[in-house]
């Protein structure tokens, strides 16, 4: 009861409400896209792109941009298109390209932050960008609105193109043969992923984003058998874990991102057990 | 009027031609088997017929009321599908996607069509089952039902029995024969001489020599005899 009372008290503060709203929306979007990425065997793209976003963030802070989204979002989108769009024509093949890009961006980002940072606590800055420690609790009103709008757009696109996304993901060559423009959908998916990753950096930091993308889908796949039930379950699960994680981290003062991921791990274990029992 | 006409096709990648000067036509109700050694260009030909790959020269026409996107395609299974969570119904219904355009949902008529295609493939009762838990033969039948959703006129089958055990393969051939008797034109890429000889009405052999004609002509020809003897002879 004491905890409930505490939560009610915390909810009076706008920053707590902002954190919950954005956290839940980001979790919803990342789980929707996560199902597709896991099924396309692209789980590591989230990871690679988040490192790119980290590098871009470093560049933005070196350039002293007031709103670093202006730089980070386009940079990440371009990398996503390059990674997903290159597909068969790529010079370096898929996983090698991702590995190269992700460590490269990480190194350049860290180096830049170290060389040009104006703040006294460089390792603190790096740590909070990587693990998202308190960023979610310091969101401004504008950032919250941006998050809300982008999340709604992503969900709407997903709903509208649900059947086409299924067809293209399940069997790209069949979809192409039937006249579906698979290239355009892959492009769309790449852009959406990049947007989600930049948004999610605020929530869990760039190192832990893949967890947000991958865990809900994998947990849902342990128990459910159809695409629709997997998608629904992973959305619900992701929202639940993000909500619980934020509440727990507020109550006990734990880092937000890591808490959410640990709850996802627990959920995965539970779902695996349930899957075995079925 | 033929459903599908290929006119002096040269196929290949970039400027490198694999198949030169290929001409043939397929009429409604034909059962055409496309045979040839590995690397002879069977896959490239199929992609060209589906409009996924442009020929270096020559043209592919459709006629007899066929539109270019009306070919029902049965691709080989991919790695992605092996552990894809999808119900049989979802997979079959996705065959109607080509009819949807930008419409975000399926109409009642399309759902009914999917039901009917599942029935034709003997999949009633499996609609709610998970695709990844089916046997290889059942999975192929699901994909065939999906292809039927896309068209009732012409099916293009890529190695439809590869990876199936003999019994499942036999059943698959029976289903294809049945569809062909019901008036569906069948184009099949196959390594399996047995099936080629048993069911096909026409043969297209691509490789060093190109042969196109009826099955009887093929078995009499030098190309045909060589191919059949290399592939283990005719049984039955």
Please provide the DSSP assignment of A128-196 as one string. Answer: HHHH-TTGGGG--HHHHHHHHHHHHHHHHHHHHTHHHHHHHHH-HHHHHHTT--HHHHHHHHHHHHHHH
Give the right CATH number for B1-66+153-236 from 3.40.50.300, 3.40.50.720, 3.40.50.2300, 1.10.230.10. 3.40.50.300
Please provide the DSSP assignment of B49-99 as one string. Answer: HTTSS--SEEEEEE-TT--GGGEEEEPPP-HHHHT---BHHHHHHGGGHHH
> Strand B16-26 and strand B31-35: pairing?
unpaired
Within 10 angstroms of residue B107's Cβ, the number of other Cβ atoms is 12
Q: Which residues of B touch A (CB under 8 A)?
A: 50-52, 69, 71, 73, 75, 78-81, 83-87, 89-91, 93-95, 97-98, 100, 104-106, 128-130, 132-133, 146-147, 150
Q: Is ipTM beyond 0.95?
A: no
Confidence (pLDDT) at B232: 56
Within 10 angstroms of residue B2's Cβ, the number of other Cβ atoms is 17
Q: Which residues is B17 bridged to in the sheet?
A: B12
Write the burial class of residue A63 (CB in 10 Å: 0-12 exposed, 13-18 middle, 19+ buried).
Answer: exposed
Confidence (pLDDT) at A128: 67
Q: Measured between CB atoms, which of A171, A177, A229 is closest to B81?
A: A171
Establish if A179 touches chain B: CB-CB under 8 angstroms: yes
Q: Residue A105's domain spans which residues?
A: 2-277
Confidence (pLDDT) at A86: 58
A29 to chain B, closest Cα gap in Å: 19
Which of A229, A265, A223, A226 has the alpha carbon at shortest distance from A244? Answer: A265
CB–CB contact A163 B94 (8 Å): yes
CB–CB contact B105 A179 (8 Å): no
Confidence (pLDDT) at B236: 36
Q: What is the mean pLDDT of each run of 10 residues along chain B (236 residues)?
A: 84 80 87 84 86 84 77 84 88 86 84 88 87 89 91 87 86 90 89 76 85 85 79 49
Number of domains in chain A: 1
Taking each continuous run of H as one helix and of E as one strand, the counts in chain B are 10, 9
CA distance B190 to B37: 10
Question: For residue A7, is pLDDT > 90?
Answer: no
Which of A34, A29, A71, A42 has the alpha carbon at shortest distance from A54? Answer: A71
CB–CB contact B85 A174 (8 Å): no
Query: Which of chain B's residues have a Cβ under 8 Å away from the Cβ of A160?
Result: 104
Establish if A166 touches chain B: CB-CB under 8 angstroms: yes
Scanning every residue of chain A, which has its alpha carbon at the shortest distance from the alpha carbon of B92?
A167
A138 to chain B, closest Cα gap in Å: 39
B229 to chain A, closest Cα gap in Å: 34
B67 to chain A, closest Cα gap in Å: 11
Share of chain A above pLDDT 70, in %: 86
Query: Which of chain B's residues have a Cβ under 8 Å away from the Cβ of A174?
Result: 73, 75, 94-95, 146-147
CATH number for the domain harbouring residue A190 = 1.10.3470.10
Establish if A129 touches chain B: CB-CB under 8 angstroms: no
Rounded to two decimals, the pTM is 0.84
* Residue boundaries of the structural domains of chain B: 1-66+153-236, 78-151
């Amino acid at each position: 009861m004491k905890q409930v009372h505490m939560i009610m008290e915390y909810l009076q503060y706008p920053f707590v409400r902002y954190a919950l709203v954005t956290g839940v929306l980001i979790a919803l979007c990342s789980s929707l896209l996560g199902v597709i990425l896991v099924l396309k065997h692209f789980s590591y793209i989230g990871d690679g792109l988040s490192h790119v976003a980290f590098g871009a963030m470093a560049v933005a802070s070196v350039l002293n941009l007031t709103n670093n989204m202006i730089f980070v979002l386009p940079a990440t989108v371009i990398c996503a298109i390059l990674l997903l769009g290159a597909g068969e024509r790529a010079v370096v093949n898929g996983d090698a390209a991702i590995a190269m890009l992700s460590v490269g961006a990480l190194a350049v980002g860290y180096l830049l932050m170290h060389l040009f940072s104006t703040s006294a606590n460089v390792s603190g800055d790096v740590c909070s960008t990587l693990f998202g420690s308190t960023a979610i609790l310091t969101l401004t009103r504008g950032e919250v609105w941006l998050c809300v709008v982008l999340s709604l757009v992503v969900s709407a696109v997903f709903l509208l193109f649900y059947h086409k996304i299924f067809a293209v993901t399940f069997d790209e060559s069949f979809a192409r043969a039937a006249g579906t423009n698979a290239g355009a959908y892959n492009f769309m998916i790449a852009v959406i992923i990049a947007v989600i990753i930049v948004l999610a950096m605020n929530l869990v930091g760039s190192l832990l984003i893949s967890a947000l993308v991958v865990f809900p889908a994998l947990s849902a796949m342990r128990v459910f058998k159809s695409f629709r039930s997997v998608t629904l379950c992973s959305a619900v699960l992701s929202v639940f874990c993000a909500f619980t994680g934020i509440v727990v981290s507020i109550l006990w003062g734990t880092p937000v991102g890591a808490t959410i991921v640990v709850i996802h791990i627990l959920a995965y274990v539970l779902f695996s057990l349930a899957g075995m029992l079925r | 009027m033929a459903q599908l006409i290929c006119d002096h096709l040269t196929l290949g990648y970039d400027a490198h031609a694999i198949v030169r000067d290929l001409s043939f036509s397929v009429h409604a109700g034909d059962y055409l088997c496309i045979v040839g050694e590995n690397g002879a260009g069977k896959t490239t030909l199929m992609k060209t017929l589906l409009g996924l790959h442009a020929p270096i020269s020559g043209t592919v026409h459709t006629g007899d009321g066929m539109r270019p996107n009306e070919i029902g395609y049965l691709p080989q299974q991919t790695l992605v599908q092996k552990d894809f969570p999808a119900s049989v119904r979802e997979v079959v219904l996705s065959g109607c996607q080509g009819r949807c355009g930008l419409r975000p949902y399926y109409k009642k008529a399309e759902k009914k069509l999917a039901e009917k295609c599942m029935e034709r493939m003997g999949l009633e009762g499996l609609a709610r089952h998970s695709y990844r838990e089916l046997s290889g033969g059942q999975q192929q039948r699901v994909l065939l039902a999906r292809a039927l959703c896309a068209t009732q006129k012409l099916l293009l089958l890529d190695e439809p029995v590869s990876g199936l055990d003999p019994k499942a393969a036999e059943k698959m051939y029976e289903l294809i024969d049945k569809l062909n008797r019901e008036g569906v034109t069948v184009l099949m890429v196959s390594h399996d001489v047995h099936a080629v000889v048993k069911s096909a009405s026409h043969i297209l052999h691509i490789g060093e020599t190109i042969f196109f004609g009826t099955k009887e002509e093929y078995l009499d020809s030098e190309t045909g005899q060589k191919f059949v003897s290399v592939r283990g002879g005719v049984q039955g």
